[in-house]
């Protein structure tokens, strides 16, 4: 009899433990969702955190210890002519947001698209959300280009801009890429 009571008590404890685990998982998702919504409200965009999903902004070779150096020089030697035709010098480019580009899997912090200027990295919506650098401002909107791309994008309207990149955290976007890869 005692062993039967003990077995029943263990089953009851396992049920409570499973319920508690499910509740904790749901609570964690709820807290994460609330945090994301609060952050979106605070920074003024629906996409306050995004992951880089392509290599269009990648600079081959990365950067040296100072963040800008010989690797930037190597990248510029292959891409500088394009920017110089737009009257953007190497020294000006070095002052742009994230002059060393970004890599697939980086996590981007984004704010509302205010006071946009040439050199800013923006998110804009076409059929998908794209992260590229503004290379020209027109009467109707912006011309953008991925730093690693050979040509610029078609002009976009101001209404297509979703946000402005303010920071890049290397590699922290990979969990999101994994979820994206499995269709979540």
Q: Are residues 38 and 51 in the same domain?
A: no
Q: Does 81 lie in the same domain as 68?
A: yes
- Kindly report which listed range (35-39, 69-73, 135-139) carries the lowest average pLDDT score: 69-73
> What is the number of helices (H) and of strands (E) in the chain?
4, 7
Same domain, 164 and 141: yes
User: Distance (Å, rounded) from C-alpha 47 to C-alpha 37?
Assistant: 9
Q: Do 64 and 115 lie in a common domain?
A: yes
Report CA-CA distances (Å) from 92 to 61, 102, 135.
Answer: 20, 18, 12
Statement to judge: residues 9 and 67 lie in one domain: no
Q: Which residues constitute the domain of residue 4?
A: 1-43
Q: Rounded to whole angstroms, what are the CA distances from 62 to 43, 71, 100?
A: 29, 6, 7
Q: What is the pLDDT of residues 87-96, one digit of tens each?
A: 999 999 999 9
Sign of CA dihedral 26, 30, 35, 40: positive
In tens, the pLDDT along 13-45 reads: 666 677 888 888 889 888 888 888 887 888 888
The enclosing domain of 77 has a CATH number of 2.10.109.10
* Prediction pTM value: 0.78
């Amino acid at each position: 009899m005692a062993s039967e009571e003990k077995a029943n008590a263990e089953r009851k404890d396992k049920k409570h433990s499973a319920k508690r685990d499910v509740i904790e998982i749901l609570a964690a998702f709820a807290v994460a969702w609330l945090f994301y919504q609060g952050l979106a409200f605070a920074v003024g965009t629906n996409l306050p955190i995004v992951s880089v999903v392509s290599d269009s902004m990648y600079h081959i070779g990365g950067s040296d210890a100072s963040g800008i150096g010989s690797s930037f020089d190597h990248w510029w030697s292959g891409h500088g002519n394009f920017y110089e035709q737009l009257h953007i010098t190497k020294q000006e480019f070095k002052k742009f947001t994230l002059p060393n580009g970004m890599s697939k899997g980086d996590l981007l912090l984004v704010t509302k698209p205010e006071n946009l200027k040439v050199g800013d990295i923006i998110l804009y919506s076409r059929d998908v959300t794209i992260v590229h650098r503004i290379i020209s401002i027109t009467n109707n909107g912006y011309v953008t280009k991925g730093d690693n791309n050979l040509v610029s994008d078609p002009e976009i309207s101001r209404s297509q801009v979703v946000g402005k990149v303010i920071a890049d955290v290397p590699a922290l976007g990979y969990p999101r890429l994994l979820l994206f890869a499995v269709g979540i």
